[in-house]
Chains A and B, each alone.
Chain A
Amino acid sequence: MPESKFTSDQAVAVAAACAAHQVDYLFIGKSGAILLGYPAVTQDVDLFLPKDRQNAARMIRALQTIGFKLSATIQKQIRAGADFVQLKRGPFDLDLIHAPDGIPSFDEAKKRSVIQDGFPVANLRDIIASKRASNREKDLVDLLLLEEFRLEYEKRHPPALETAAVKVMRTTTAAKTRSRK
């Protein structure tokens, strides 16, 4: 069984391929947090994509240029915007996520995202909100550590202020999305 490990060369290749194919995406999950400086280890790269057939087609082409061999079935599911797609036999383990828990909208997440040395990464607060919303046993310890990390991270990267109205809208939208799932 291949032992895939995401290397820095592969990270640069992903970012370059996505830029060349004009793919809209964000690193999320623990992989996103690691890019932001979270001192942890993970196996999979998690990429958040908008539900957009054309963007999905561009992502498929970008992945193929860096060595992913995608079956017709998986390509169809990516284009259809399947909420969660796991790719396990490529150059590295990759999850494509169209509807991460706790993040109601790609466009809103993108507005809050950061560019970490050329890598588009979801805002750390969105990453934490998503982990909290996914409610998995494995994330319980991570959440505690992530919150402590956030305090250090935000000393160097203070979050943008938001009005009370914007905050209410954001939390209301997130609650409605959760109740629909």
Chain B
Amino acid sequence: MSQPSRKREDWRKQWRAQCRRQLNRPTLSRIKYGFAYVYKPVLDDSPSRAFGTMAEYRRWCRMKLPRYLGYWPAPAQHAGK
């Protein structure tokens, strides 16, 4: 097996094992370890905001948020995958 393929398979095995461990945990434990606050510029700077449509929200994300936050639309070759 080539090196990159072996790495991909190991990664999936480890991830699946982690999924099984998490599935064995009670729901309240999942919540306890599943939520964390990390400040996001612009996004966390306003107390609240509302968008009439999801298209409006997507436009706002594209215009206002720094790209590194990941809210921009995915490049065309990844769309819908």
Contacts and interface: CB of A to CB of B under 8 A. Distances in A.
Interface of A: 1, 3-8, 11-12, 31, 34-35, 37-43, 45, 70-71, 74, 77-78, 82-89, 92-93, 99-101, 116-117, 119, 132-133, 135-140, 143, 145, 148-149, 151-153, 156, 181
A104 to B, nearest CB: 12
Contact of A37 (B22, B71, B81): B22
Interface of B: 12, 15-16, 18-23, 25-40, 43-44, 46-57, 61, 67, 69-75, 78-81
Contacts of A100: 54
A31 B36 CA distance: 11
A43 B74 contact: no
B74 A85 contact: no
A136 B70 contact: yes
A85 B48 contact: yes
Contacts of B75: 137
Nearest to B28: A8
